[in-house]
Chain A
Amino acid sequence: MIAAFAVVVFAVAAVITYLARFGTIGVIIAAIFAISSSLFSYFKSDSIALAMSRAKPASEQDFRRLHNVVEGLCIGAGIPKPRLFVIDDEAPNAFATGRDPKHAAVAVTTGLLEKMNRVELEGVLAHELSHIKNYDILVMTLAVTMVGMIALMSDLFLRWSFWGGMGRDRNDSNDNNPIGIFLAIFGFLLVIFAPIIARLMQLAISRQREYLADASGVMITRYPPGLISALEKLKADTTVVHSASKATAHLWIEGPLDGDPRKQRKFDNLFATHPPLDDRIARLREL
């Protein structure tokens, strides 16, 4: 999948180079930069995310129940047991990270362990394990890289139509080339809107993966009420995770930056990493 994506990036770079007929080296450098940064985030995403949220390894003695619940769920899901981490935070929340089931890690806050009973904890952890099983980290890494590439391409396009247009003016004295003007305006609009649209698409993907993880989590536990009552508790709780940041927001079970869930308006949904809890609960009730 990564290889296929790299091919796409190179093809795009080649097309741009052909169109622009200049700045070949710049495009190659940009492409190499985009690929290496996406590979880096792909391989290092777990340790970065864990370090950013100040997660500590959960020992088997102190967190017996957590280990037991995860072991059971992993047997049910048919995946190896991920490394377990605990974050010292009052707000109940959890996230999963790691590029594939063999390199996965799950982190939970101490608030989650205190406030959830066994069945609810199972629902939450099944949701996190589903993120791992569905390769959501890979999907989101690709989405982020795509967004970066689209921003880069729109930028290149604008430069080309601007400088290329100017160059032709001087050399060919072809002043009122309507195609050139059209391209310049189109590129200008693209450079403004493409990154926003790409970001919105990325967020839409993130929300879809949340619904999917809810559904496949329930598929493991075979008990929707567990996750439903856990989500109800998350809704009622208004404490905020301190160590969450924009970069890791899409990993948590409840969007840590999406604001007070009870005050959400329709428009906010477009910019949220997670769907509203009410919608998620409603979908689970339908199962």
Chain B
Amino acid sequence: MVPVIIILVVILVFVLIFVMQYNGLVKLRNRVDNAWSQIDVQLKRRHDLIPNLIETVKGYAKHEAETLENVVKARNAAVSANGVQAQGAAEGALSGALGKLFALSESYPDLKANTNFLEFQEELTATEDKVSYSRQFYNDSVLGYNNKIGTIPSNIIAGMFNFTAREFFETETPEDREVPKVQF
């Protein structure tokens, strides 16, 4: 009788460990998915803000057609980008183009005083922040998830049920990594 009870208890413990590990994996995977959709929401908001911003700036800075054109191009590329890596690269390029646009506004005092423009600037700064925070949260979630499916004992269960590692979201483009060249 006693050996039977011991065997039953051991089986029960194993089943419990299995259930806990499996549930933990599903929770982490869902968190990664949720974090990704957070990024999506923020990116969409950012893309929606840009056409209005361009309209506002056009009225004040007609001579800067090239900078504006670059922002529009970068935005359209970002909208149509697919997959974690491509999206990351396109967003990085868009950030660069927007940065140039805001730097340009320094030489147009009228534009800088425009309340519409200031509001857009606040909204875009906030959205930019949210994009980077959601990216950070996504990457933290991916790290936790990838660690879980790569380590013993959860890696056994992850292998059985086809939990695969996720990619990190990186906005850095190859140009960003290079040291900026300064000439005097």
Contacts and interface: CB of A to CB of B under 8 A. Distances in A.
Contacts, number: 36
A222 interface: yes
Nearest to B119: A64
A110 B159 CA distance: 54
A65 interface: yes
A72 B126 contact: yes
B122 A75 contact: no
Contact of B122 (A64, A220, A222): A64
B122 A76 contact: no
A78 interface: yes
Contacts of B38: 75
B133 A72 contact: yes
A73 B136 CA distance: 10
Contacts of B123: 68
Report whether over half of chain B's contact residues are helix, strand or loop; otherwise say mixed: helix
Interface in A75-110: 75-78
A77 B134 CA distance: 9
Contact of A75 (B31, B125, B137): B137
Contact of A71 (B31, B126, B136, B141): B126
B133 A73 contact: yes
B129 interface: yes
Interface in B3-60: 31, 35, 38, 42
Contacts of A118: 125
B133 A76 contact: yes
A71 B130 contact: yes
Contacts of A20: none
Given A69-B129, A72-B130, A78 B137 contact: yes
A116 to B, nearest CB: 15
Interface string B155-178: 000000000000000000000000
Interface string A56-73: 000000001100110111
Nearest to B128: A72
A75 B38 CA distance: 8
A73 B132 CA distance: 10
A69 B125 CA distance: 10
Contacts of A75: 38, 42, 130, 133-134, 137
B123 to A, nearest CB: 8
Most buried by A among B31, B38, B134, B136: B136
A64 B141 CA distance: 29
Interchain residue pairs A-B with the least CB separation, the first 7? A76-B133, A68-B126, A72-B129, A75-B133, A72-B130, A75-B134, A72-B133
25 contacts: A64-B122, A65-B122, A65-B126, A68-B129, A68-B130, A69-B126, A69-B129, A71-B126, A71-B130, A72-B129, A72-B133, A73-B133, A75-B38, A75-B130, A75-B133, A75-B134, A75-B137, A76-B134, A76-B136, A77-B137, A78-B31, A78-B35, A78-B141, A118-B125, A222-B136
Interface of B: 31, 35, 38, 42, 122-123, 125-126, 129-130, 133-134, 136-137, 141
